[in-house]
């Protein structure tokens, strides 16, 4: 009898271990429809990125966007890092500080003939492009190379 109880206890310990939560993927369709209808700029999204999972999508103001809505698309990368793409008509220094998590400007980066400003913190990198009535921010815990790959993939499609 004791052996049976011991076996049951072992099975319970092995099978009842906490399992990591599955990534919850969201459908951005309604958010993108609203953003494209209301934004005074062409909305761009990453295209052709294999293994990225979209986990958040919203079109709303942020505390530092000066009343302008912000398109936010948040992803888990294939290496389970976080990456976000944000777009807004807001262009203030406080908005950029918010979107880069207090990043410090490091250098200018040329991607497909377009100049982006690289910002960095201890654990986050951001690419920021301001111009033509829109601020685009690609930011995350991933490396600069992956941010540049996402920047190259942006399309208004």
The size of the chain, in residues, is 157
pLDDT of residue 23: 81
- pLDDT tens digits, 41-64: 999 999 999 999 999 999 999 999
Please give the pLDDT value at position 108.
98
54: its two tokens = 């979209």
Measuring CA to CA, which residue among 155, 88, 157, 156 is closest to residue 128? 88
In this structure, is residue 109 part of a structural domain? yes
C-alpha 6/C-alpha 4 separation (Å) is 5
Q: Which of the four pLDDT bands, split at 50, 70 and 90, describes residue 105?
A: very high
Query: Per the structure, how many domains does the chain have?
Result: 1
Please report whether residue 119 resides in a domain: yes
What's the CA gap between 99 and 134, in Å, rounded? 14
Residue 140 sits in a domain whose CATH number is 3.30.200.100
Tell whether 7 is covered by a domain: no
Residue 82 counted as domain residue: yes
Query: What is the DSSP secondary-structure string of 98-134?
Result: HHTTS-EEEEEEEETTEEEEEEE-SS-EEEEEEETTE
Domain that holds residue 45: 25-155
β-pair partners for 92 = none
pTM of the model: 0.86
Higher pLDDT, 140 or 15: 140
Q: Which tops the pLDDT comparison, 125 or 12?
A: 125
Q: Please give the average per-residue pLDDT across 123-139, as a whole number.
A: 98
For residue 4, which phi and psi values (nearest 5 degrees)?
A: -65, -45
Please check whether residue 31 lies inside any domain of the structure. yes
Asked, for residue 150, whether it belongs to a domain, the answer is yes
Give the separation between CA 157 and CA 140, rounded to whole angstroms.
Answer: 23
Mean pLDDT for the stretch of residues 75-94: 98
For residue 61, count other CB atoms closer than 10 A to its CB: 13
Given pLDDT bands bounded at 50, 70 and 90, which one contains residue 13? low
Q: Give dist(CA 157, CA 142) in Å, integer.
A: 25
Q: Are 76 and 129 in contact (CB under 8 A)?
A: no
Report yes or no on 8 lying in a domain.
no
Mean pLDDT of 2-21: 55
Q: Is residue 74 part of a domain?
A: yes
């Amino acid at each position: 009898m004791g052996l049976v109880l011991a076996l049951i206890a072992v099975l319970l310990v092995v099978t009842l271990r906490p399992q990591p939560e599955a990534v919850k993927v969201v459908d951005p369709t309604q958010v993108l429809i609203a953003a494209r209808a209301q934004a005074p700029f062409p909305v761009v999204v990453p295209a052709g990125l294999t293994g990225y999972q979209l986990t958040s999508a919203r079109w709303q103001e942020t505390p530092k966007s000066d009343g302008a809505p912000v398109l936010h698309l948040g992803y888990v990368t294939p290496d389970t890092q976080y990456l976000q793409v944000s777009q807004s008509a807001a262009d203030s220094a406080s908005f950029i500080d918010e979107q880069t998590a207090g990043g410090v400007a490091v250098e200018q980066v040329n991607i497909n003939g377009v100049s982006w400003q690289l910002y960095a913190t201890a654990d986050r990198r951001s690419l920021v492009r301001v111009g033509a009535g829109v601020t685009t921010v690609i930011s995350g815990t991933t490396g600069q190379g992956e941010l540049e790959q996402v920047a190259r993939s942006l399309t208004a499609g």
